[in-house]
Amino acid sequence: MKIKDVIGRINGNIHLKQTSALFTWNLIGLPINLAINFFMTRYLGAEAYGNYSFVARVFNLVFILMNLGLFRSVGRAILLSNDNHKIREYYGTGLIIWIVVSTLTMVLLYPYALLSKNVAEKGMTIVMLSVIPFCAAEFLNKFNEQVLPSSNKIKLLIVQRYGPRILLLVLISLLFFLWGSNPHKLIVCLCALYGTQFLFYSYVAVKLRPTFTNRQERFREIKIINRSYGAQTYIGDLFSNVFTAAMPLLISLFSLNNAEVGFYSLALMLCTPMNYIPSAIMTSYYKMFSTYKEIPRKVFKVTILSSAACLLILWVIIAPFVKIFYTPEYNPVIFITMVTSVGTFLYGLSDFISRYLSSQGDGVALRNSSIIVGFSTLVCSLLIIPKFAAMGAAITHVIAGIIYVIVIIFYYRKRVKTNNSK
């Protein structure tokens, strides 16, 4: 097939075009992410980079605890609606929910920062108190990530994901070359991270053109969806994502400093490219998946083969890559990444299937699978992390990934069987 024909096929298929755009930006984002981490790790050093990662993990954990499934329910309401004005009202109501949840979270985080023994022992009290308001940026990110695929706003999703990273790269490179002796490096880097995010996330929220009319009626509809869908996935998240998000905090708790937190977080980041293709596919097909009786076999094959290829490539290049671009204190990241990548491969495939179940509104399946995976993660974390720190978290990631694949395939087959019987 000629290149001209391939381009014509892509332009004629909206989902293929969106998948191609997302994957292209994923490839562009890869060197950007690597450059950010290159400057960040060298600018901060291993221990301060661990503290930097610790703050991000705390914000991620409190979002899982505080969102109550409402952001997912807003996305679900948008997915089911074909009325553009009504969709804008859902956006507006969702933003009000974001403001309330963010404010409540800030109120709860300040006592944690002041009273936590672990935070005090790691010398993080002042840092935490300074950056707590930025949790609103993390929450706005989660909100946009739910509503943009539901409304098929792929261009805005690209802006949301890559705009902040490009600006952060500019800022951190300037800091690295012009302000290397800064005594407040950690706080400055965190402000750069969340400040750039909030700037672009706010822009995306405005471009969605939210309207705040009929707030009570839209909120009632969201609550109805939340009872049957959002709350179910939230309960599952409490058992699954909470324990996964808590692993870096457990590493911190059983370590002298947060360097091991940084090693594990860096390993997760280096594994991220493995999920670019399945993420692009499931995002562009998300709205269409709600009408499919099952995932097309061709889509399945592309997802599995591309992920496996990425896994093998990562194993080949990770050792020389870390030795070239990072200082010797980061050498433990090599083997941690190789182990973590297996879990990331399994999670990527499972998340792909999970998104199909999500588009089908199968909240019970998502809840049950999350509970099983979460319980497994909890048990493994408590048994392995205290002894092996970051490597223990990597091993736990693999074990949980195996269980996740088995469980999600079971529920996928059950959904397909139900769909075919109708």
pLDDT average, residue stretch 48-66: 88
Q: Where are the beta strands (DSSP E) in 61-194?
A: none
Q: Which of 80-84, 90-94, 360-364, 392-396 has the lowest mean pLDDT?
A: 360-364
The secondary structure of residue 132, as a DSSP letter, is G
Q: Given this model, what pLDDT does residue 15 score?
A: 64
- DSSP output for 258-290: SHHHHHHHHHHHHHGGGGHHHHHHHHHTHHHHT
pLDDT average, residue stretch 305-315: 91
Crossing angle between the packed helical segments 185-207 and 46-66, to the nearest 10 degrees? 40
Q: Residue 249 and residue 319: Cα distance in Å, rounded?
A: 26
Checking if the pLDDT of 300 tops 50, the result is yes
Mean pLDDT of the chain: 86
Predicted confidence (pLDDT) per residue in 339-370, tens digit: 999 999 999 889 888 888 888 877 788 888 88
Predicted confidence (pLDDT) per residue in 199-228, tens digit: 999 999 899 899 998 889 999 999 999 888
Residues 6+ apart with CB under 8 A from 220: none
pLDDT average, residue stretch 78-97: 90
pTM for the model stands at 0.73
Q: Given this model, what pLDDT does residue 345 score?
A: 93
> Do 194 and 127 meet the contact criterion of CB atoms below 8 Å apart?
no
Residue 45 burial (C-beta neighbours within 10 Å; 0-12, 13-18, 19+):
middle
Predicted confidence (pLDDT) per residue in 1-48, tens digit: 444 444 444 445 566 777 777 778 877 888 898 899 889 988 988 888
Query: Which band of pLDDT confidence, cut at 50, 70 and 90, is reported for residue 164?
Result: very high
